[in-house]
């Protein structure tokens, strides 16, 4: 008897372990570790992942599994193992770890079909299943199960004749298009055509079309090209010569792009020196982590490309992670240009179906390189030769929900398994990584100058307090205004950057200072101009802007703060001749609009590109000679120990946008705190000095990289309960850890209430606590078992957001 170990899709403490199920005889040769199956669970039928198959079980009264969900494993052995590691290190449920590795299309809400693989005909299938594909292109999974076809389908899938596809069940918003195809070969159609009655001229024409074009064609196109009517096609379908099929059409965002093929550039001496140890690691299959530290434009990407090339030549695969907002077509082009169809791209702009298609290419080993955002780190390759993380300092590599993993840690874990190098690239490395490089845990590779020795742009720091004193109340300093004007006259382009993180526009009474807060959360409501409403970003509460102040009845209650719209309005007043493109969440919400706006700017259709952090990256246009940062310090005052680091990184990055080409660039940074070291040193583009200063401060306050952090957050409806329970946890942790650890709390979270739940936290700073994971697990066990009183506990190890 064969027994499957199954992690079931019930995310609770009690079910966070493998359950044993009997594999019935008929499935014995089908079920493999890494497949999903349906199992009975209490009175329900649920999904689960098979993690292992054993010969027996100690458990009495075993139940039988119901049916398989896959034709082949969706997780390979290494990923199954990685899931365990994720569970251990991030303290998440196993089911979350496995689900995180799969594309969304594999989750609920999608209907599964088995379909002929591209270019395959029903004739090539074995007798038993041929009839199912003769009149239809695809077979519903349920039907396959009902008719006992799974093992035959599996064999055909292994030969590449069939494949599994997922179709979105709710068809409402997806585009469905009718396609028509022929059920016979060209020769057979020619014979059939002769049988058609002579006056059915149109039908013959349609058949002629298919004799010339054997592929599926969109009905609309077919009618256009043949001048036939839909009724004609219907008649041919009724005669079982053609078939119609509704298909969801996805738009491939890169479909209409041609990738100009590029070739490896002869490396500069600095690049050659940097790539040598990477190549050595690839060749000797020895795991090593490299920190490639080089300013923007120093040639890091070329090093990535030539390292990948080496990996491909060895028959291995490469994963490249890029922050979501840098995953621009420009970026993708550089990889597609070099490796063409060997590249799969995974980013959030793709529909679930498109993502699944890319994932399938990886699984089928049709590609050798995957370029993607955070979750691409789980690409199901099986022979990884290098993992590259560009802009490794980006905080988006940390996932904030379960599993709360950092892609860098996952990369290193996988690279250890495959004994391959990890390359972390950045112009402003995270303090953690740079410190590790200093300690020789990572191998530091430095590119100290830009290509062609092009100088870094000159940076001007403007003290906005001075401006105010001089009577300038505008959001533009006199200097920035003059420079913008000058660019417009010269026909050059400018980029204006508004740091909006943590600085949304709120509604305030100018007379008494009253700020409109969310009634459910302790946070101010954000002003939205559309409909003149205020919204809470945490719970979704919405309301109209009051006409008079609820506190003092003053009429001077209005929105405060500088949103991009407001800047745009002001630009319209002071520089009416300027053509402005605004890029923010409002103007880039629709798919493809981000790209379109950038393209317009590139084509010179505007003088000024105005935007939030989404324009901080990837812009590389020759005509940009001025970058202005409107308010550099908005992020400095967030309750986050990384706020200086983030400010420095962002300002350095934005400055790097100017003068990348022939024309020299200038940067203007406006600030109310010009004396702050992160602003001053960003102005000097001096990372090394910033690193030293910031390390001193981190050391003084016991923060990473000197200490590790673990954050325990409790939430409950009643303030007293949450405080008392947090206090208990603080006491318990204190009694268990060494006196080297620093335990802070109970303290209200920076956002003390969300959706009417109070939030309290305990922050643990520690250097070496071998027992901490066990202690934290125990806390989770305890509270996850007792969810009855409504108390929720979450733990984030190495948190990035302390909110
Ligand atoms: P980074 O990734 O560090 O920002 P890139 O790799 O994009 O730097 O290089 C900056 C520019 O220099 C690009 O336009 C790139 O094509 C060019 N470049 C890079 N390496 C070389 C080289 N060895 N010879 C000539 N041009 C190069
Ligand atoms: Zn008031
Ligand atoms: Zn709210």
**Residues 731-740 pLDDT 10s:** 999 999 999 9
Q: Which residues contact 540 (CB under 8 A, 6 or more apart)?
A: none
The first and second tokens of residue 373, run together, are 């955002």
* Distance in angstroms (rounded) separating the CA atoms of residues 391 and 320: 11
Query: Does ligand 1 have an atom closer than 6 angstroms to the CB of 300?
Result: yes
User: What does pTM read for this prediction?
Assistant: 0.80
DSSP-derived secondary structure letter, 31:
-
Task: Dihedral sign for Cα 34, 35, 39, 45, please.
Answer: positive
Q: What is the pLDDT of residue 6?
A: 97
Asked if residue 478 lies in contact with residue 589, where contact means CB atoms within 8 angstroms, the answer is no
The first and second tokens of residue 803, run together, are 């909110």
Query: Does ligand 1 have an atom closer than 6 angstroms to the CB of 297?
Result: yes
Q: What is the pLDDT of residue 502?
A: 39
Task: Please identify, by atom number, the ligand 1 atom nearest to the C-alpha of residue 267.
Answer: 23
Neighbours of 697 (CB within 10 A): 13
458 pLDDT more than 70: yes
Neighbours of 317 (CB within 10 A): 25
Neighbours of 445 (CB within 10 A): 24
- What number of CA atoms fall less than 13 Å from residue 372's CA on the CB side? 24
* Alpha helices for 402-512 (secondary structure H): 407-418, 431-438, 464-469, 478-490
Position 172 confidence tier, pLDDT thresholds 50, 70, 90: very low
Q: What is the pLDDT of residue 720?
A: 92
Residues within 5 Å of ion ligand 3 by Cβ? 518, 520-521, 536, 538-539, 541
Rounded (5°) CA angle 205-208-212: 145
Q: Which residue has the tokens 């739940």?
A: 757
Chain centre to alpha carbon of residue 131: 42
Query: Does ligand 1 have an atom closer than 6 angstroms to the CB of 267?
Result: yes
Kindly report the protein residue whose alpha carbon is nearest to atom 17 of ligand 1: 299
* Distance in angstroms (rounded) separating the CA atoms of residues 597 and 578: 16
Task: Report the C-alpha dihedral over residues 314, 315, 316, 322, rounded to 10 degrees.
Answer: 90
When mean pLDDT is compared over 124-128, 464-468, 484-488, 538-542, the highest value belongs to 484-488
Return the biggest CA–CA distance within the chain: 96
* Distance in angstroms (rounded) separating the CA atoms of residues 483 and 489: 10
Neighbours of 361 (CB within 10 A): 17
- Mean pLDDT of the 26-44 span: 90
410 pLDDT more than 80: yes
Query: Does ligand 1 have an atom closer than 6 angstroms to the CB of 268?
Result: yes
Q: Residue 525 C-alpha to ligand 3 middle, in angstroms?
A: 8
DSSP-derived secondary structure letter, 119:
T
* Distance in angstroms (rounded) separating the CA atoms of residues 423 and 409: 12
Helix 431-438 with 687-700: angle, nearest 10 deg: 100
- The torsion angles phi and psi of 493, rounded to 5 degrees, stand at -110, 150
Could you tell me what percent of the chain has a pLDDT over 90? 45
* Distance in angstroms (rounded) separating the CA atoms of residues 235 and 223: 14
* Distance in angstroms (rounded) separating the CA atoms of residues 457 and 684: 10
71 pLDDT more than 80: yes
Find the ligand nearest to 551 CA: 2
Q: What is the pLDDT of residue 20?
A: 96
Q: What is the pLDDT of residue 503?
A: 41
DSSP three-state, residue 742: strand
Task: Report the C-alpha dihedral over residues 650, 651, 654, 655, rounded to 10 degrees.
Answer: -150
Position 691 confidence tier, pLDDT thresholds 50, 70, 90: very high
Position 171 confidence tier, pLDDT thresholds 50, 70, 90: very low
- Asked if the bond preceding 656 is cis, omega within 30° of 0, the reply is no
Neighbours of 348 (CB within 10 A): 12
Q: What is the pLDDT of residue 248?
A: 55
Kindly report the protein residue whose alpha carbon is nearest to atom 20 of ligand 1: 299
**Residues 265-317 pLDDT 10s:** 999 999 999 999 999 999 999 999 999 999 888 899 999 999 999 999 999 99
- Mean pLDDT of the 771-793 span: 85
Q: Residue 632 C-alpha to ligand 2 middle, in angstroms?
A: 29
Least confident stretch, 358-367, 538-547, 683-692: 538-547
When mean pLDDT is compared over 81-85, 355-359, 396-400, the highest value belongs to 81-85
Total residue count of the chain as it appears in this document = 803
Which residues make beta-bridge pairs with 792? 715
Task: Judge residue 621's burial from the number of C-beta atoms within 10 Å of its C-beta, 0-12 exposed, 13-18 middle, 19 or more buried.
Answer: middle
Kindly report the protein residue whose alpha carbon is nearest to atom 5 of ligand 1: 299
* Distance in angstroms (rounded) separating the CA atoms of residues 754 and 750: 11
Position 591 confidence tier, pLDDT thresholds 50, 70, 90: low
Q: What is the pLDDT of residue 316?
A: 98
- Mean pLDDT of the 627-640 span: 78
Position 588 confidence tier, pLDDT thresholds 50, 70, 90: low
- Mean pLDDT of the 569-592 span: 82
Asked if residue 580 lies in contact with residue 608, where contact means CB atoms within 8 angstroms, the answer is yes
Q: Are strands 708-716 and 792-797 parallel, antiparallel or unpaired?
A: antiparallel
In this predicted model, which residue has the larger pLDDT, 245 or 420?
Answer: 420
Asked if residue 615 lies in contact with residue 606, where contact means CB atoms within 8 angstroms, the answer is no
Q: What is the pLDDT of residue 589?
A: 62
Q: What is the pLDDT of residue 174?
A: 40
Q: Which residues contact 714 (CB under 8 A, 6 or more apart)?
A: 722, 725, 726, 729, 759, 760, 761, 791, 792, 793
Q: What is the pLDDT of residue 250?
A: 47
Sheet holding 526-528, edge to edge: 526-528, 533-535, 542-544
Task: Report the C-alpha dihedral over residues 120, 123, 126, 131, rounded to 10 degrees.
Answer: 110
**Residue to substitute in 451, 658, 661 for testing ligand 1 pocket (most ligand atoms within 8 angstroms of CB):** 451
In this predicted model, which residue has the larger pLDDT, 98 or 620?
Answer: 98
Position 178 confidence tier, pLDDT thresholds 50, 70, 90: confident
The first and second tokens of residue 506, run together, are 């709120």
**Residues 659-680 pLDDT 10s:** 666 777 899 999 888 889 999 9
**Residues 84-125 pLDDT 10s:** 999 999 999 999 999 999 988 787 556 778 888 877 888 888
In this predicted model, which residue has the larger pLDDT, 90 or 639?
Answer: 90
Could you tell me what percent of the chain has a pLDDT over 70? 91
Among 296, 354, 299, 346, residue whose Cα is nearest residue 321: 346
Q: What is the pLDDT of residue 505?
A: 67
Query: Does ligand 1 have an atom closer than 6 angstroms to the CB of 302?
Result: yes
Q: Residue 281 C-alpha to ligand 1 middle, in angstroms?
A: 23
175 pLDDT more than 60: no
**Residues 4-16 pLDDT 10s:** 999 998 888 888 9
**Residues 264-278 pLDDT 10s:** 999 999 999 999 999
The first and second tokens of residue 322, run together, are 């890029």
Q: What is the pLDDT of residue 713?
A: 94
Long-range contacts of 481-488 (CB under 8 A, 24+ apart): 481/574, 481/575, 483/626, 483/628, 483/666, 483/668, 484/575, 484/578, 484/608, 484/626, 484/628, 485/575, 487/607, 487/625, 487/626, 488/575, 488/577, 488/578, 488/607
DSSP three-state, residue 564: helix
Q: Which residues contact 266 (CB under 8 A, 6 or more apart)?
A: none
* Distance in angstroms (rounded) separating the CA atoms of residues 401 and 614: 22
**Residues 355-374 pLDDT 10s:** 888 998 899 899 999 999 99
639 pLDDT more than 80: no
Query: Does ligand 1 have an atom closer than 6 angstroms to the CB of 271?
Result: yes
Q: Are strands 63-64 and 44-54 parallel, antiparallel or unpaired?
A: unpaired
What average pLDDT is seen over the chain? 87
DSSP three-state, residue 232: helix
Which residues make beta-bridge pairs with 504? none
25 pLDDT more than 60: yes
Least confident stretch, 204-208, 281-285, 444-448, 612-616: 612-616
**Residue to substitute in 270, 300, 301 for testing ligand 1 pocket (most ligand atoms within 8 angstroms of CB):** 301
Which residues make beta-bridge pairs with 19? 6
The first and second tokens of residue 184, run together, are 């016979």
Chain centre to alpha carbon of residue 362: 17
Position 530 confidence tier, pLDDT thresholds 50, 70, 90: low
Q: What are the strands, taking DSSP E only, across 32-186?
A: 36-41, 44-54, 63-64, 67-68, 110-116, 138-140, 162-168, 176-182
* Distance in angstroms (rounded) separating the CA atoms of residues 676 and 643: 12
Query: Does ligand 1 have an atom closer than 6 angstroms to the CB of 299?
Result: yes
Query: Does ligand 1 have an atom closer than 6 angstroms to the CB of 477?
Result: no
Position 438 confidence tier, pLDDT thresholds 50, 70, 90: very high
Q: What is the pLDDT of residue 11?
A: 84
Query: Does ligand 1 have an atom closer than 6 angstroms to the CB of 656?
Result: no
């Amino acid at each position: 008897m064969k027994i499957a170990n199954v992690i079931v899709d019930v995310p609770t403490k009690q079910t966070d372990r493998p359950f044993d199920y009997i594999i019935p005889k008929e499935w014995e040769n089908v079920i493999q570790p890494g497949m999903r199956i349906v199992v009975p669970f209490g009175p329900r039928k649920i999904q689960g992942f098979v993690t292992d198959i054993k010969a027996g079980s100690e458990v009495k009264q075993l139940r039988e599994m119901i049916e398989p969900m896959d034709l082949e494993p969706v997780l390979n052995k290494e990923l199954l193992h990685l899931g365990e590691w994720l569970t251990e290190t991030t303290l998440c449920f196993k089911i979350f770890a496995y689900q995180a590795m799969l594309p969304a299309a594999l989750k609920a809400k999608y209907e599964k079909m088995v379909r002929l693989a591209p270019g395959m005909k029903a004739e090539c299938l074995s007798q038993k299943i041929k009839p199912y594909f003769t009149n239809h292109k695809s077979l519903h999974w349920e039907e396959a199960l009902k008719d006992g076809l799974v093992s035959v389908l599996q064999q055909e899938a292994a030969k590449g004749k069939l494949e599994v596809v997922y179709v979105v069940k709710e068809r409402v918003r997806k585009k469905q298009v009718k396609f028509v195809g022929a059920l016979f070969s060209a020769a057979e159609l020619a014979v059939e055509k002769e049988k058609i009655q002579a006056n059915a001229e149109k039908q013959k024409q349609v058949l002629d079309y298919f004799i010339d074009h054997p592929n599926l064609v969109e009905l609309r196109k077919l009618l256009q090209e043949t001048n036939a009517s839909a009724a004609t096609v219907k008649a041919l379908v009724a005669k079982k010569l053609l078939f119609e099929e509704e298909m969801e059409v996805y738009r491939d965002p890169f479909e209409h792009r041609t990738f100009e093929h590029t070739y490896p550039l002869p490396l500069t001496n600095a690049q050659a020196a940097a790539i040598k140890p990477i190549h050595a690691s690839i060749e000797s299959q020895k795991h090593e982590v490299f920190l490639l530290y080089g300013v923007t434009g120093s040639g890091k990407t070329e090093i990535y490309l030539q390292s990948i090339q080496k990996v491909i030549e060895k028959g291995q695969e490469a994963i490249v992670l890029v922050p979501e907002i840098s995953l621009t077509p420009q970026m993708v082009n550089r990889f597609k240009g070099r490796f063409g169809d060997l590249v799969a791209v995974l980013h959030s702009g793709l529909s679930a179906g498109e993502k699944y298609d890319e994932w399938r290419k990886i699984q089928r080993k049709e590609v050798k390189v995957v370029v993607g955002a955070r979750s691409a780190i789980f690409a199901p390759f099986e022979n990884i030769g290098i993992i590259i993380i560009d802009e490794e300092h980006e905080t988006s590599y940390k996932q904030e929900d379960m599993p709360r993993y950092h892609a860098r840690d996952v990369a290193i874990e996988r690279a250890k398994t495959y004994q391959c190098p990890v390359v972390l690239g950045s112009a402003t490395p995270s303090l953690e990584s740079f410190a590790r490089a200093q300690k020789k845990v990572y191998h530091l590779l430095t590119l100290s100058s830009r290509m062609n020795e092009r100088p870094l742009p000159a940076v001007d720091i403007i003290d906005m307090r001075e401006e105010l004193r001089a009577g300038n109340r505008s959001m533009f300093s006199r200097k920035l205004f003059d420079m913008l004007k000058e660019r417009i006259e010269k026909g050059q382009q400018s980029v204006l950057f508004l740091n909006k993180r943590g600085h949304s526009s709120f509604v305030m009474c100018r007379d008494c200072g009253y700020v409109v807060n969310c009634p459910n959360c302790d946070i101010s409501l954000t002003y939205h101009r559309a409909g003149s409403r205020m919204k809470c970003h945490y719970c979704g509460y919405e309301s109209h802007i009051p006409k008079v102040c609820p506190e003092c009845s003053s009429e001077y209650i209005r929105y405060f703060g500088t949103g991009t719209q407001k800047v745009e309005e002001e630009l319209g007043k002071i520089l009416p001749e300027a053509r402005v493109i605004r890029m923010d969440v409002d103007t880039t919400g629709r798919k493809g609009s981000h790209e379109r706006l950038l393209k317009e700017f590139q084509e010179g259709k505007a003088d000024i590109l105005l935007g939030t952090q989404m324009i901080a990256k990837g812009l590389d246009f020759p005509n940009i000679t001025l970058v202005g940062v409107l308010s550099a310090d908005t992020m400095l005052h967030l309750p986050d120990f990384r706020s200086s680091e983030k400010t420095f990184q962002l300002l350095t990055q934005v400055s790097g946008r100017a003068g990348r080409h022939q024309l020299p660039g200038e940067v203007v940074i406006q600030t109310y705190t010009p004396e702050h070291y992160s602003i001053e040193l960003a102005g000097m583009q001096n990372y090394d000095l910033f690193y030293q200063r910031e390390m001193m401060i981190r050391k003084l306050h016991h923060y990473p990289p000197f200490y590790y952090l673990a954050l325990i957050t409790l939430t409950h409806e009643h303030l007293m309960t949450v405080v008392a329970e947090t206090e208990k946890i603080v006491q318990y942790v204190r009694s268990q850890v060494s006196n080297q650890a620093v335990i802070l709390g109970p303290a209200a979270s920076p956002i003390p209430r969300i959706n009417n739940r109070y939030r309290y936290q305990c922050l643990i700073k520690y250097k070496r606590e071998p027992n901490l994971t066990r202690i934290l697990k125990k806390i989770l066990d305890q509270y996850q078992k007792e969810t009855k009183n409504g108390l929720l506990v979450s733990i984030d190890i190495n948190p990035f957001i302390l909110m």
